[in-house]
């Protein structure tokens, strides 16, 4: 008789609940959040497991691969879907959440998520760290702008390269203000340098990867977007059709149909937000800054003409997601004259 397991993972401890095929609780326990401790507890019962479930989270990648390598039938489920079921419980505790997860494993009422490979996870960490540093740099620049406004100093529009010289020129005659601004400028300069270090690693990785080299033949797609796409998709063959990539990345309209009402809303924005943002930026570059003609660009400009540039960028971003997947699985470069990817 197979047993089903729910793991509610927290920073220090993991609540474990094991139920039989009828839903009766057979075992419950609390162990440290370490793969060896969880595996030891599960093996100590001597039972055969049908499914072992845990939610997506900070530790899910680490624990999933450890349990999988130990030969256990582990499943990672979407935390949002799990939460929509678990919130129906009267009391919110780790023990109750583990019980709920175990019942979800038994009934099969869950949506399994893909757990990235170690290689893709490392690439994603590199890209996330670059994004984090850029975000902090922008925060520092806004803080400096806000500080100078207090004293009636307006920076105006400047490029990233012009920013620091402009600030130093504005505060050169105020020794006290220099003491306030200098630490922020030095912190910003350090972040800019470290972003360049990370981007050098990204370029090196992309230039040595055949898939990324192919994806970079698309106008608007550089090393960062190509590497991010590869890390996000991880395994292209888990998608049976390229067209499903738009849905997976939240670039398709939300559908609402009830009674006599039937309409399409804004895009769903589900899936990977960073990937979606970068695809949108790639679409903007392709439509507005790329000088090379392509069937995809012509299609996007037609949408912009009859609607708006924003909608055109969203539509092209969705097409890019589809085309990049098709290029990956068919091992082909971008075809500027092909109408087929545009009408896919």
- Provide the pLDDT for residue 340: 53
Residues ≥6 apart with Cβ < 8 Å to 225: 215, 278, 279, 281, 282
Cα dist from 34 to 64, 71, 302, whole Å: 11, 16, 55
- Closest CA relative to residue 162, chosen from 192, 182, 135: 192
Distance of CA 135 to the CA centre of its chain: 16
Pair 320, 225: CB distance under 8 Å: no
The C-alpha atoms of residue 342 and residue 316 are separated, in whole angstroms, by 9
The C-alpha atoms of residue 178 and residue 156 are separated, in whole angstroms, by 19
Kindly list the domain boundaries of the chain, sorted by start residue: 3-107, 118-208, 212-330
pLDDT in tens, 237-278: 999 999 999 999 999 988 777 777 777 788 889 889 999 999
- Closest CA relative to residue 192, chosen from 126, 135, 127: 135
Q: Count CB atoms within 10 A of the CB of residue 111.
A: 10
The C-alpha atoms of residue 166 and residue 159 are separated, in whole angstroms, by 10
Q: Specify the CATH superfamily of domain 3-107.
A: Ribonuclease H-like superfamily/Ribonuclease H (3.30.420.10)
- Closest CA relative to residue 185, chosen from 171, 200, 203, 202: 171
SS3 276: helix
Q: Cα-atom radius of gyration of the chain, to the nearest Å?
A: 25
Share of the chain above pLDDT 90, in %: 83
**Mean pLDDT of the region 316-322:** 96
pLDDT in tens, 46-73: 999 999 999 999 999 999 999 999 999 9
The C-alpha atoms of residue 186 and residue 192 are separated, in whole angstroms, by 10
């Amino acid at each position: 008789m197979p047993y089903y397991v729910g793991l509610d993972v927290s920073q220090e401890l993991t609540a474990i609940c094991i139920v039989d095929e009828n839903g009766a609780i057979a075992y419950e326990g609390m162990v440290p959040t370490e793969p060896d401790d969880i595996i030891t507890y599960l093996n100590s019962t001597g039972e055969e497991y049908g499914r072992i479930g845990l939610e997506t989270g900070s530790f899910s990648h680490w624990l999933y691969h450890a349990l999988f390598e130990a030969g256990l039938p582990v499943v990672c489920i979407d935390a949002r879907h799990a939460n929509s079921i678990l919130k129906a419980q009267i009391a919110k505790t780790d023990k109750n959440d583990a019980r709920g997860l175990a019942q979800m494993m038994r009934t099969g009422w869950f949506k399994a998520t893909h757990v990235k490979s170690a290689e893709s996870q490392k690439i994603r960490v590199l890209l996330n760290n670059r994004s984090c540093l850029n975000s902090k740099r922008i925060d520092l620049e806004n803080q400096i702008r806000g500080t100078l406004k207090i004293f009636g100093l307006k920076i105006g529009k400047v490029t990233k390269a012009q920013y620091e010289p402009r600030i130093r020129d504005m505060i050169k005659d105020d020794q006290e203000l220099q003491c306030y601004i200098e630490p922020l400028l030095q912190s910003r300069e350090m972040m800019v340098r470290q972003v360049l270090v990370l981007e050098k690693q990204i370029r090196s990785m992309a230039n040595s990867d055949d898939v990324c080299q192919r994806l970079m033949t698309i106008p608007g797609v550089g090393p960062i977007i190509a590497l991010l796409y590869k890390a996000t998709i991880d395994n292209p063959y888990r998608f049976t059709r390229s067209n499903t990539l738009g849905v997976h990345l939240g670039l398709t309209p939300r559908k609402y149909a009830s009674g006599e009402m039937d309409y399409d809303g804004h895009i769903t924005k589900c899936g990977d937000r960073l990937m979606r943002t970068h695809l949108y930026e790639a679409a903007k570059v392709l439509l507005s800054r790329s000088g090379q003609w392509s069937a995809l660009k012509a299609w996007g400009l037609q949408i912009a003409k009859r609607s708006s540039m924003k909608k055109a960028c969203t539509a092209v971003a969705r097409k890019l997601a589809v085309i990049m997947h098709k290029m990956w699985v068919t091992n082909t470069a971008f075809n500027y004259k092909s109408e087929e990817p545009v009408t896919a």
